[in-house]
Amino acid sequence: MKIEEQVALFMQGTQYGDVKVKNAMAQELNERLNQAQKKREPLRVYCGYDPTRSDLHIGHTVTMRKLRQFQELGHDVTFLIGDFTALIGDPSDKDVTRPILTHEQVERNARTYAEQAFRILDPKKTTIRHNSEWLSKINYADLIKLASNFTVQQFLSREKFKLRWEKGDAIYLHETFYAVMQGYDAYMLKADVQVGGTDQFFNIMTASRKIMSALGSKPNIAICLPILPGTDGKEKMSQSLGNYISLSTTAEDMFGKLMSIPDKAMPQYFRLVTRWAPSEIKEIEKALTDSTMNPRDAKIKLAFEVTEAFYGNEKAKNAERDFIQRFRERKIPGDLEICTFEPGEKILDTLINSDIVKSRSEGKRLIQQRGVRLNDRIIEDWRSDTEVGILQVGKRRIIKLDRK
């Protein structure tokens, strides 16, 4: 593939909020690819994933698919497990301080990350690294040198920090370390390209590039991709918000959760988590606009495509058949009552808050009798987290759950 074609492919789907920045990144990428070709060396590309939870979700695969594009064109890809940055947690998309995890929690969460990532990435072409390899060895002198490249104002101007400052909420000093640590990751990996979501814009465009330049390296090129909304169609897909689709779930569960997303979120899912070409997406969207395709049929097509990518054709067909039998044939209405829940709310509390049960004892009894299903999955523990989707309690009531 010609250099210009590679640039077009790698920049496809990127988002910077400023066309001048996007053009600048494309130009730098073009120059770096030309240099690499002359030296007959591949680009060094990476993306980091913090094991703040035990499983990855399909929102993570947006960046993984971009890494896969680089792999397929012969470039070196590193899947970085942020086992040290996870101790702080990225504050980029949070308007509250993240809880600090222990080494044991992070280690436990990280155990299956590589295995899950290989459902997208080629294991033979992927290098797995942990940033504790270098971040755990930084001393105060190192930290002072790195931190001297930033001002307090730069951090306070960030959207989430600014919001917390204006509300009078606490901003802890350790939260500012995260961007500095991520910048040092890029330097230690000698990265030519760093892939990340648009919520990582400051960390990549400011912190990584500034630190690499300060330490005498060429600044890396930022490939920033849109954030996949969760199954509620509103917020970023996140385990903590209960609006995610895990990579370690079953084909039936993945298919069912994809069918629960709002119609308005489908275009983003078309572009971010399918293997469809832009022309195919355009054709589906035209059919939806012309009303020659029912939104539910488009959603089934979407659910099948994503499920097949992870589980293969046979399991995707079984998941589709299972969904149709359970939902269509039982004629679950499309105008279900919508009940909302707080992030982190337990299923027992949801049963009570939605007036399905009158007491905790009644709710526990229904769960013990296997009479409660969430997204067609039997709930066996009343302490399970509530998720966005369809809640069924026996044959008495069916409601749609959405996050507040």
Nearest to 171 by CA among 199, 152, 144: 152
Q: What is each CA distance from 354 to 2, 357, 373, in whole angstroms?
A: 58, 8, 15
CB 227 within 8 A of CB 198: yes
Residues contacting residue 37 through CB under 8 Å, at least 6 positions apart: 3
pLDDT class of 105 with cuts at 50, 70, 90: confident
* Percent residues over pLDDT 70 in the chain: 94
Domains of the chain: 3-227 (3.40.50.620), 229-331 (1.10.240.10), 333-404 (3.10.290.10)
How many Å apart are CA 198 and CA 249, to the nearest integer? 26
How many Å apart are CA 88 and CA 64, to the nearest integer? 23
Residue with the bigger pLDDT between 77 and 173: it is 77
**What average pLDDT does the segment 299-316 reach?**
94
* Percent residues over pLDDT 90 in the chain: 51
pLDDT class of 273 with cuts at 50, 70, 90: very high
Question: Phi and psi for 187 in degrees, rounded to 5?
Answer: -65, -45
pLDDT single digits (tens) 140-180: 999 999 999 998 888 888 777 788 888 888 888 888 888 99
Q: What is the pLDDT of residue 153?
A: 86
pLDDT class of 96 with cuts at 50, 70, 90: very low
Q: What is the pLDDT of residue 333?
A: 57
Q: 57-66, 240-249, 336-345, 373-382: which has the highest mean pLDDT?
A: 57-66
